[in-house]
Amino acid sequence: MNHSIYSADRTTHLKIVVVALVAGVVVAGFSISARTNSDEGLTQTASERVMKAGKPVVITSTGNSVVR
C-alpha cells in the first residue's frame, strides 16, 4: 500500500476529486437549506417609528491633552 498522493494512479486522483466535489455539494446544499426564508426584517411597516435627523451639532472642545 502506497500512502503518497504523488505516486497514486489516475483512478485514485479521480476518486479524491469526486469525493471533494460531493462534499462541496453537500455543504452548499446544507447551507442553502439552513437559511431562514423569512423576510420579516427586510420590510418596514407603517407602525414602525421613523427617526428623522435633527439640527447639526458642533463640538468645540474635547478636553483631551496634547502630547508633543
The residue-averaged pLDDT of 31-42 equals 68
Residue 48, domain extent: 1-67
CB-count burial class (<10 Å; 0-12, 13-18, 19+) for 8: middle
- Residues 10-23 pLDDT 10s: 888 899 999 999 99
Q: How many domains does the chain have?
A: 1
**Residues 1, 66: Cα–Cα separation, whole Å:** 71
To the question of pTM greater than 0.85 for the whole model, the response is no
DSSP annotation of 32 reads H
**Under a CB-based contact definition with an 8 Å cutoff, are residues 25 and 32 in contact?**
no
